[in-house]
Amino acid sequence: MERGASGPGVPVLSCTDLRKQFGDRTAVDGVGFSIAPAETYGLLGPNGAGKTTTISMICGLLARDGGSVTVDGQPVDIGTAAAKQAIGYVPQDLAIYPELTALENLRFFGHLYGMRGPQLKRRMDEVLEIIGLTDRATDRTDAYSGGMKRRLNIGIGLLHQPKLLVLDEPTVGVDPQSRNAILASVEALGEQGMAILYTTHYMEEAERLCDRVGIIDEGKIRAEGTRRELTSMIGQRDRIELGARGDLHRAVAAVRGLDGVVDVSAHETGLSLLVVDAGRVLASVIEAVAGSDASVTNVEVVEPDLEAVFLHLTGRALRD
Amino acid sequence: MRAAGVILAKDLRARLRDRTFFIVAIIAPFGLAAIFATLLPSGSDDLDLRLGYADLDGSSTSAAFRDGPLQALVDAELATITAYDDAQAARAAVEAGDVSAVAIVPSGFGQDVELGQATAIEVVGDVDAGFSTDILRSLAEGYARELESVRLAVATVIGDTFPVPRERVAELVAGALEQPSPVSVVDVPAELRQMGAHTFYAASMAIFFLFFTAQFGVLSLLAERRGGTLPRLVAAPIPPAAIVAGKALGSFVMGISAMVVLAVASTLLLGADWGDPLGVAALIVAAVVAATGITAFITTFARTEEQAGGWNSIVAVTLAILGGAFMDLSQAPEILSRLSFLTPHAWFLQGLDEMSAPSFTYADLALPLAALLGIGIVTGAIGLWRARGLVVAR
């Protein structure tokens, strides 16, 4: 593939002050970040935070209301072909043709990216090997399992050896086995030196895969850095995951005023708390919850992690 | 253009694996055309009229019938006329199947006409050859009307000046018959130009189903959006216009393929006669442009494939009815005949009709072609402009 202007120290992706408005709703509000060569960058945020809208503007799928994007030194817009050549886009939804075989799907997208002849054939063989579909390459994809389709979905994004691979929540709705396979593939691609933009609302995925993470909520990047940098923002604080049943809103109110409790939010199965010194405050937390109209079913004290950072920054759990 | 070709090739491959294309584009129109052509009265495809004529009068008035309307059929190579000396021989020829129908002009026919007395041309037809008998009867009735106008003209000249010498009446009648009719109703030539049943139903079913075939291309934009592949196409290093062009090309190629297959198959298997190949090719291309334009226009107003498919079906049926694809509109009220020319169907069938005329020249196709291309270009331009909005999210 033809290469652009990026090199050591020059970011593969640079986006600044991205803005997008849908009617009265601001979907993206001044988002900016960059990705260096061989870096895996995660956009971590709950559903509706603005991840997919940001990615759509980066890939030239959606017109921006403001801001700029360059990929491999080339400006990106809806009609620009040069920058798009450097991007491998893996959408959140499956984007394959069910009536075609895996080989035909790969060949079609390869042709769209200007690939031909032996180069295309060699690359198709490599990708099929990477995604583990060599034996099923000539089967129509409507006969594939969900996991196989997901793998092919990623394989198409890899085919033209892009400078920047953009994966939009690739593990949503995937069984655990396939999810592990996808994460391992992304890890391997990162180790091979590909720049990757990975969006997720799973904290564990961001922690496992990403060199740097941007925490996004309500269309804004709330914080950005390595895992160590982000967790250091909350100091010596612990996260307590409290399984509970009953009136969780009353439980939140009962816990919020306790000494040592920094943040608390309710979710489907209980409460997430950010506390100073979990060992010291745990007993009073359990007592307060039990004193409200809720009962505690289990307790887990977690080392500072990105979930705790998100809770600290937004006052809400990632799963909200 | 290369990218549009890649998208076209992918769509064609996918569509050929989808049996609905063959059913909608080939099997259904061909099957219906065959059924219609078999069940309904046939037209002039098999027009091989074997008519007879017995002139028992021998007057100039009876000779005018033979040399006028009957000779016109012979000149157009649509009929053979056999002359018989007497009525008995003529009737025997019909019974023997030598001719399908005979016209017998009785002795004294000319004189009765001159004197304004009642007389009749007798038409005898084979019961199994109703079409031939109908044509001969129509010709005789037309001639009788002409004679009536002549009688009135002669009566007007004579006025109240009785008695009039018989030689004078004969002179006036002969003179009136030689005069061209002041008002000419070109009835017979219109019938002779009409397509045969096999051709009509093959062509009308072809253009009716063309509207279902041509929708496939642009409709697949909505399918790409539903299937999630549209964002991936937009993310590729190709202009958004190439995606729209690829889809429009898909409609065009599938439409052309279906029409050509139907034209060839109906010619070989149903005996249809579409006309001059170059003219037919031009009409097919123009009709496909029109169908592609209209279906693209409609599809871009829909939100889902199902909605677009429903709307396209309603429009296809409405235009087909209005355009005379299901029935001959020549006997319909004037307003319907005029409205029919808002549809591509009417122009397409009109073009084929023009080619069935013995005096056809390519210039006769100018109006149908211009109308079809005009409809296609206007609706297509709006449709493709709107289709770009489906591709690029704002």
Q: List residues bridging with A213 in a β-sheet.
A: A42, A225
Write down the pLDDT at residue B162.
Answer: 54
Q: Which of B220, B1, B143, B296 is nearest to A97 (CA)?
A: B220
Write down the pLDDT at residue A18.
Answer: 95
- Within 8 A of A156 by CB-CB distance, chain B residues are 232
Which contiguous run of DSSP H or E holds residue B209?
A: helix B197-213
Pick from A59, A82, A100: CB nearest B235: A59
Work out the number of other CB atoms within 10 angstroms of the CB of residue A103. Answer: 17
Please state at what angle helix B277-299 crosses helix B344-355, rounded to 10 degrees: 180
| Tokens at B319, concatenated | 């235009």
Q: Closest residue of B to A20, CA-based?
A: B394
- Do A160 and A133 form a contact (C-beta atoms < 8 A)? no
Write down the pLDDT at residue A7.
Answer: 52
B394·A82 Cβ contact <8 A: no
Q: Closest residue of B to A53, CA-based?
A: B393
- Across the range B214-240, mean pLDDT stands at 90
Q: Pick the residue with more confidence: B107 or A4? A: B107
DSSP state of A266: E
Write down the pLDDT at residue A143.
Answer: 92
Residues A16, A22, A26, A29, Cα dihedral to 10°? 0
- Within 8 A of A81 by CB-CB distance, chain B residues are 237-239
Amino acid at A6: S
DSSP state of A124: H
Pick from B7, B227, B240: CB nearest A78: B240
DSSP state of A114: T
Phi, psi dihedrals of residue B71, rounded to the nearest 5°? -65, -30
The CA-atom distances, in angstroms, between B1 and each of A27, A243, B15, B385 are 35, 60, 21, 17
CA distance B254 to B13: 11
- Within 8 A of A1 by CB-CB distance, chain B residues are none
**pLDDT category, B319, cuts 50, 70, 90?**
very high
Stretch among A29-38, B27-36, B123-132, B273-282 having the lowest mean pLDDT: B123-132
Please state at what angle helix B344-355 crosses helix B305-322, rounded to 10 degrees: 40
Write down the pLDDT at residue A17.
Answer: 94
Best residue of B10, B13, B15, B230 to probe chain A, by most A CBs closer than 10 Å: B10
ipTM above 0.90 for this complex: no
Q: List residues bridging with A89 in a β-sheet.
A: A166
- Within 8 A of A109 by CB-CB distance, chain B residues are 232, 236
pLDDT at B158 over 90: no
Distance from CA of B303 to the nearest CA of A (A): 19
| Tokens at B174, concatenated | 């002969």
Pick from A91, A100, A111: CB nearest B228: A91
pTM of this prediction? 0.70
- Within 8 A of B223 by CB-CB distance, chain A residues are none
Write down the pLDDT at residue B37.
Answer: 67
- Within 8 A of A100 by CB-CB distance, chain B residues are 10, 13-14
- Do A41 and A198 form a contact (C-beta atoms < 8 A)? yes
- Across the range A9-16, mean pLDDT stands at 89
- Within 8 A of A78 by CB-CB distance, chain B residues are 234, 240, 392
CA distance B273 to A182: 61
Distance from CA of B219 to the nearest CA of A (A): 15
Residues B253, B258, B259, B261, Cα dihedral to 10°? 120
Q: Closest residue of B to A94, CA-based?
A: B228
Distance from CA of A209 to the nearest CA of B (A): 24
| Tokens at A168, concatenated | 């939009």
CA distance B307 to B296: 13
Distance from CA of A51 to the nearest CA of B (A): 15
- Within 8 A of B5 by CB-CB distance, chain A residues are none
CB within 8 A of B315, min separation 6: which ones? B211, B294, B298
Write down the pLDDT at residue B186.
Answer: 35
CA distance A58 to A70: 8
Q: What angle do CA B38, B40, B46 make, to 5 degrees?
A: 65
Q: Which of B105, B103, B165, B167 is nearest to B136 (CA)?
A: B103
Q: Closest residue of A to B16, CA-based?
A: A99
Longest dimension (CA), chain B: 100
DSSP state of B66: I
- Do B90 and B84 form a contact (C-beta atoms < 8 A)? yes
Stretch among B50-54, B88-92, B303-307, B330-334 having the lowest mean pLDDT: B330-334
**Upstream peptide bond of B163 is cis (omega within 30 degrees of 0):** yes
pLDDT at A3 over 60: no
DSSP state of A101: B
Write down the pLDDT at residue B147.
Answer: 73
- Summarize pLDDT for B254-267 with one digit per residue, the tens: 899 889 988 888 88
Write down the pLDDT at residue A320.
Answer: 54
- Within 8 A of B232 by CB-CB distance, chain A residues are 89, 91, 95, 109, 156
Q: Pick the residue with more confidence: B226 or B187? A: B226
Write down the pLDDT at residue A8.
Answer: 55
- Across the range A79-104, mean pLDDT stands at 91
Please state, rounded to an integer, the average pLDDT across all residues of chain A.
Answer: 88
B233·A87 Cβ contact <8 A: no
Interface list for chain A against chain B, based on CB atoms closer than 8 Å? 56, 59-63, 78-79, 81-82, 84-85, 87, 89, 91, 93-100, 104, 108-109, 111-114, 156
- Within 8 A of B234 by CB-CB distance, chain A residues are 60-61, 78
**pLDDT category, A216, cuts 50, 70, 90?**
very high
Stretch among A114-118, A160-164, A297-301, B153-157 having the lowest mean pLDDT: B153-157
- Across the range B341-370, mean pLDDT stands at 90
- Within 8 A of A98 by CB-CB distance, chain B residues are 227
Amino acid at B283: L
Work out the number of other CB atoms within 10 angstroms of the CB of residue B218. Answer: 29
Write out the DSSP string of B8-42. Answer: HHHHHHHHHHSHHHHIIIIIHHHHHHHHHHHHSPP
The CA-atom distances, in angstroms, between B318 and each of B81, B204, B211 are 44, 13, 11
Number of A/B CB contacts below 8 angstroms equals 73
CA distance B367 to B353: 13
**pLDDT category, B174, cuts 50, 70, 90?**
low
Pick from B10, B17, B235: CB nearest A84: B235
Q: Pick the residue with more confidence: B34 or A160? A: A160
CA distance B95 to A320: 95
Phi, psi dihedrals of residue A88, rounded to the nearest 5°? -110, 115
Q: Closest residue of A to B4, CA-based?
A: A112
- Across the range B304-329, mean pLDDT stands at 88
- Summarize pLDDT for B7-25 with one digit per residue, the tens: 999 998 888 887 777 777 7
Strands in A66-71's sheet, in edge-to-edge order, are A25-35, A13-22, A66-71, A74-75
| Tokens at B377, concatenated | 């270009």
Distance from CA of A303 to the nearest CA of B (A): 39
Write down the pLDDT at residue B181.
Answer: 45
- Across the range A239-264, mean pLDDT stands at 89
Which contiguous run of DSSP H or E holds residue A223?
A: strand A220-225
Best residue of A87, A112, A140 to probe chain B, by most B CBs closer than 10 Å: A112
Could you give the 3-state DSSP secondary structure of residue B228?
A: coil
Q: Closest residue of B to A97, CA-based?
A: B229
Q: Is B372 left (phi over 0), alpha (psi -120 to 50) or beta?
A: alpha
Straight-line distance from the first to the last Cα atom of chain B, in angstroms, rounded to the nearest whole number = 24
Q: For A301, how many CA atoms within 13 A lie in the half-sphere containing its CB?
A: 13
B17·A99 Cβ contact <8 A: yes
A63·B392 Cβ contact <8 A: yes
| Tokens at B173, concatenated | 């009648």
Q: Pick the residue with more confidence: B332 or B364? A: B364
Averaging pLDDT over each range in A158-162, B122-126, B196-200, which range is the top one? A158-162
B10·A63 Cβ contact <8 A: no
pLDDT at B163 over 60: no
Pick from A79, A87, A112: CB nearest B3: A112
Best residue of B6, B220, B229 to probe chain A, by most A CBs closer than 10 Å: B229
Interface list for chain B against chain A, based on CB atoms closer than 8 Å? 3, 6-7, 10, 13-14, 17-18, 227-229, 231-240, 392-394
- Across the range A131-155, mean pLDDT stands at 91
**pLDDT category, B191, cuts 50, 70, 90?**
very low
Place of tokens 């062009």: B245
**pLDDT category, B151, cuts 50, 70, 90?**
low
CA distance B187 to B65: 16
- Within 8 A of A60 by CB-CB distance, chain B residues are 234-235
Write down the pLDDT at residue A95.
Answer: 93
Q: List residues bridging with B101 in a β-sheet.
A: B51, B125
Pick from A61, A94, A99: CB nearest B235: A61
